[in-house]
Chains A and B, each alone.
Chain A
């Protein structure tokens, strides 16, 4: 289109245009200012401090001295226990994510498909009610349920399944897994519900009409369209578990500790430089995982549906 003939539109000369655009850009940016400031002061600055700490050294007298070194990182990778705990944490996170989604998907599916909208809201409310109680209280409650003198053992001995209280449920990995599934189920359920809610179920009829078995209809038609919800569920469950320390501390015993518990120990032991390095190893891992998840969550998935 030749300039100055743009159907009556005002044509701004390029130089002025740029200046104006820059000014407009600044004016438009102000809504981001508070959030930007907060991010800078409360996130970026502490992060920078941590980066520096992770490359310094703590003396035996707990003084932090600016000796630039990678020893803190090397320490992690050279200590089998730490590497093993990190691997176990990853497996735990994967197991909780798998169980959470396995429970949340059918739950959300039946809720959306067969429950009237009014009841749906009631059920969703019931799902998020636990959030009104503090996490700490809920973890203690589980300790009371699963412990040697807990409700579960009393029930089992009461009906004669076991003779004496079992320690199977607590102070080990299965107990941690169970409680984490309980804690993270609502996140998975809400994420999957949100994406299923938009799904038009006559598509499943259409797929079957076109010769797909019910399982094929789910696989080829439903699953690709709720993938964003599934991936969000994965992110909401998997990543926070890498930082979980409360549940393992309360119901995990010595066997059930996760990587965050080690980090907390370094913190309590005033080993800030080692702690900072460990934190960055996990942060790097989370970043890599998010990039992987993002590859599966393409923007088109969201746009194509509108």
Chain B
């Protein structure tokens, strides 16, 4: 676990398992979420994100393992007695109540007195910018506005943790971007721990303080967006988040520096730190992000991982140019940003040329080829 600080965790899952008959929805997940984090659960459909959230919210029981909220074991606590609140994917607003009554509902259930309820309703409607619509019924709101009501309603109870299940899934792209910024602002403003489910990697990278990447009911890796992006523990994570070059080869010790040697010739230097268990020689996959790869007619001096090859494609993508180079290790994709001075026209001329591609060894990652990985963010 990438611990930020000691003290009580907001949420702690210990070997949490959930089975539906034969299906294992969640398979021994251990996870710690610090207070104040904006924590993203990211993964493909069916990997167990909603299940994790429903377990924390108390809507389904654990099959095995333990769940703690603010240090207290809550396995058997019903939802209405847990100090967490949820923003549901379909919002689940109460259609027979006004916006203000929706926000007040949780406070009424907590038996807050009338004046305090009124004050908080005003405070949280103001936070989400809906004060003017307080008397409307949910049916008279747009999707984005309903989303905000759901958010205000859940936050008004001032829970320890706010759970959000793909809250932006139903919004169109533009509104989605806008709400991403808005959600980040609200989270910073109230300081509540957010646990946010999404299958959109860009959303997770841009908003989260930490991400847990899930697959098949397991957490494959958890860490900061940068760790996940630049130090993926396996091919699945690298593939799921962003684009990556995957180069298959063999790990070999070449005197001092270790290298990955490719079947059709050529070898590159690898990072000085390798994942545990990769110290010895064997089949490995080397991963490097396209934007970390440079391309040119001659490679520069110094400690670079370098390959030579022929440019087979140059694609102009507006703010980037994408150059694909066929090397002994396979096709290597590089993504070169446009800025004043570096004009794409120069890259256009590279088509069919013999070129070099190079990258800093520290920006590449090596994992064993056949194993699926599964380590918890720890890179030795």
**Interface check A200, CB cutoff 8 A:** yes
In the complex, the answer to whether B106 meets A225 with C-beta atoms within 8 Å is: no
Main SS class of interface, A: helix
Contact of A205 among B88, B94, B106, B154 (CB under 8 A): B88
A-chain residues with CB within 8 Å of residue B92 when the two chains form the complex? 200, 202-203, 205-206
Q: Which 10 A-B pairs have the closest CB atoms?
A: A210-B106, A211-B109, A206-B92, A208-B79, A202-B92, A208-B80, A209-B86, A212-B109, A224-B96, A211-B80
Beta-carbon contacts under 8 Å, B78-108 to A: 78-80, 84-86, 88, 90, 92-96, 105-106
Beta-carbon contacts under 8 Å, A219-241 to B: 220-221, 224-225
Determine the distance from Cα of A209 to Cα of B95 in the docked complex, in whole angstroms: 17
Beta-carbon contacts under 8 Å, A283-306 to B: 301, 304-306
Determine the distance from Cα of A225 to Cα of B97 in the docked complex, in whole angstroms: 10
**Interface check B139, CB cutoff 8 A:** yes
Beta-carbon contacts under 8 Å, B10-68 to A: 57-59
20 CB contacts below 8 A, A to B, read: A202-B88, A205-B79, A205-B86, A206-B88, A207-B94, A207-B105, A207-B109, A208-B58, A208-B59, A208-B80, A209-B57, A209-B85, A211-B106, A214-B80, A224-B96, A225-B96, A304-B96, A305-B95, A305-B96, A306-B139
- B149 to nearest A CB, angstroms? 11
- A47 to nearest B CB, angstroms? 38
- B92 to nearest A CB, angstroms? 4
Q: Beyond the given A203-B94, A211-B157, please list 7 additional residue pairs across the A-B interface where CB-CB is below 8 A.
A: A200-B90, A205-B86, A208-B78, A208-B80, A209-B86, A301-B96, A305-B96
Determine the distance from Cα of A306 to Cα of B95 in the docked complex, in whole angstroms: 9
Determine the distance from Cα of A208 to Cα of B157 in the docked complex, in whole angstroms: 13
Interface size class of chain A, counting residues whose CB lies under 8 Å from the partner chain: 20 to 34
- The count of chain B contact residues (Cβ–Cβ below 8 Å) is 25
Show the binding face of A for B, using Cβ within 8 Å: 200, 202-203, 205-214, 216, 220-221, 224-225, 301, 304-306
Determine the distance from Cα of A206 to Cα of B92 in the docked complex, in whole angstroms: 6
Closest to A305 in B: B95
B-chain residues with CB within 8 Å of residue A205 when the two chains form the complex? 57, 59, 79, 86, 88, 92
In the complex, the answer to whether B109 meets A206 with C-beta atoms within 8 Å is: no
**Interface check B379, CB cutoff 8 A:** no
A-chain residues with CB within 8 Å of residue B90 when the two chains form the complex? 200, 202
- B231 to nearest A CB, angstroms? 36
**Interface check B120, CB cutoff 8 A:** no
